[in-house]
Amino acid sequence: MVIRRVLAPRIDFGGLRRELDLPAAFPPAAQDEAERATTVPPPDLDRTDLPLVTVDPPTSRDLDQAVCLARRSGGGYRVHYAIADVVPFVRPGGPLEAETWRRGQTIYLPDGKVPLHPPVLSEDAASLLPDVVRPAVLWTIDLDADATITDVDVRRARVRSRAKLDYAGVQADVDAGTAPEPIALLPEIGALLVERGLDRGAVNLPLPEQEIEPHGDGWRLVLRPPRLIEDYNAQISLLTGMAAAGIMLAGRIGLLRTMPAPRAEAVERLRVAAAGLGVDWPAELAVGRMLAAVDPGDPRGAAFLDQAAELMRGAGYTAFDGEVPDEPGHGGVAAPYAHVTAPLRRLADRYATEACLALHEGRPVPDWLRAALPKMPELMTSTDRVASAADRGAIDLVEAVLLQDRVGEEFDAAVVDVDAPPKPPASAAGSGNAPAGSGSAPAGSGNAPAGSGSAPAGSGNAGRKVRRPGGRIAIDEPPVRARCEGELPLGERVRVRLVAADPATRKVLFERA
């Protein structure tokens, strides 16, 4: 795995925070409630015997999940997955609950996060930190030898994590064959779960991620390929989310994370793009397996995966009470799925988890939960947009700062996307208003003859600015993705020139050299 890092100087992300209207301190009433709630009665069930461990980034303290994996004596596997239990700390109808609804989820920025809950809870009293007893929602999921679910149990319990591990360390231990016992089976179970997902038709895009990390007085922009252990760890979360969805669908009440399955026409367009890029896609190979086989380090492979992003459209949340949704599935998972494994960082998980507990225990779903469900999809969708804007805005800013003194330089780049051909104006040939060549105006001209000066040829509207042809390119050093103007061959390497890098607007622009 090759990780590329480029150093950026001091950067002020305050403008981005103000632009997105991100909250700062918690209101006094909410903060006071959080501080008074730091001690809650422990659950009756004691599972501090389980050797649970957490696997998170090294600096994280908001630890939602702890895992312990074991073989079953009769064959197959047992997954113990402890999730931070937030409900005992947040009183329904109180000021803290109201503030978490205003925030929706934790927003991450390089200079610090905007947490969903006050740190006295999210990074201390409710977090699954090592060597302390914590309340948790303990999922116990039994799998057969092929990693198919055979039994699910969920209940409140007190637990104690044995260690806080990080992804790089766990990957190194796995590679050396020295992974700690609680997660020694993670590669084995994770690989089986990946295979089960591909059998179902699951779709995943294995693209390297741009990340910003601190470095001395500045920041590093990092292009980090996904580690296998991160994918395997995510499979445990997906497994739990599918188990939760099953409980809620059977009980006819809950909150699902949904996304339409890839449309047949979108898959067909991707096949056409593969042929144009010279990417071999055997006719019998399903789209999920094809994407899993592509090398994202190859320019053509990277362009192909970028085109595949069109398959992953329309993700959202679906609440239901009494009637099961007509389309309860998630196209990426290829199964019904729910968010339940990150309640410290995502509001929806608190409510979906509580629904699962009530249904599994055979008790009524609380009124406060039932009243909240219909409002949850809109809230989570809006906060998802804010989180995406914060992530993209921070990366755009760092890219612009890194490149601001290099305007005019040339770079080698891979073309990962090209603009779609412009749509003809309403009055163009074939529009239904005038036949091509009818004499009203030259075909495709709109309202003025080509070259008249009133509007560019084919513009259709006087004075409208015509976007130059172009697309998106990826350069290696620094690891930047940005717009490039000019005729671009998809999936090829080209030479480009930097023409703009403005930190004030967070804009970077290249042109074909």
pLDDT at 227: 87
Instruction: Identify the H or E element spanning 159.
Output: strand 149-165
Instruction: Identify the H or E element spanning 237.
Output: helix 228-251
Exposed (0-12), middle (13-18) or buried (19+): which is 424, by Cβ within 10 Å? middle
Lowest mean pLDDT among 28-32, 45-49, 412-416, 466-470: 466-470
Does residue 212 contact residue 394 with C-beta atoms inside 8 Å? yes
The DSSP string of 408-456 is T-EEEEEEEEEPPPPPPPTTSTTSSSS-TTSSSS-TT-TTS-TTSSSS-
User: 197 phi and psi, to 5 degrees?
Assistant: -65, -45
| Percent of the chain residues topping a pLDDT of 70 | 90
For residue 94, pLDDT over 80 is answered with: yes
* Radius of gyration in angstroms for the set of CA atoms belonging to the chain, rounded to a whole number: 26
For residue 467, pLDDT over 90 is answered with: no
- Give residue 2's pLDDT band: very low, low, confident or very high (50, 70, 90): very low
Lowest mean pLDDT among 3-12, 108-117, 369-378, 429-438: 429-438
pLDDT at 217: 76
For residue 455, pLDDT over 80 is answered with: no
Does residue 442 contact residue 456 with C-beta atoms inside 8 Å? no
CA 198/CA 194 separation, integer angstroms:
6
The DSSP string of 485-504 is ES---TT-EEEEEEEEEETT
- Give residue 158's pLDDT band: very low, low, confident or very high (50, 70, 90): very high
- List the one residue out of 499, 474, 500 whose CA is nearest residue 488: 474
**And the tokens for 215?**
């470095």
Torsion sign over Cα 86, 88, 92, 95 = negative
- Give residue 453's pLDDT band: very low, low, confident or very high (50, 70, 90): very low
pTM above 0.75, yes or no: yes
**Domain ranges in the chain?**
27-262+312-391, 402-512
Does residue 124 contact residue 63 with C-beta atoms inside 8 Å? no
CA 496/CA 273 separation, integer angstroms:
23
- Give residue 465's pLDDT band: very low, low, confident or very high (50, 70, 90): low
- List the one residue out of 134, 164, 146, 162 whose CA is nearest residue 43: 134
**And the tokens for 405?**
């003194």
Q: What is the mean pLDDT of the chain?
A: 89
For residue 429, pLDDT over 70 is answered with: no
- List the one residue out of 140, 36, 51, 171 whose CA is nearest residue 90: 36
Q: Specify the 3-state DSSP secondary structure of 130.
A: strand
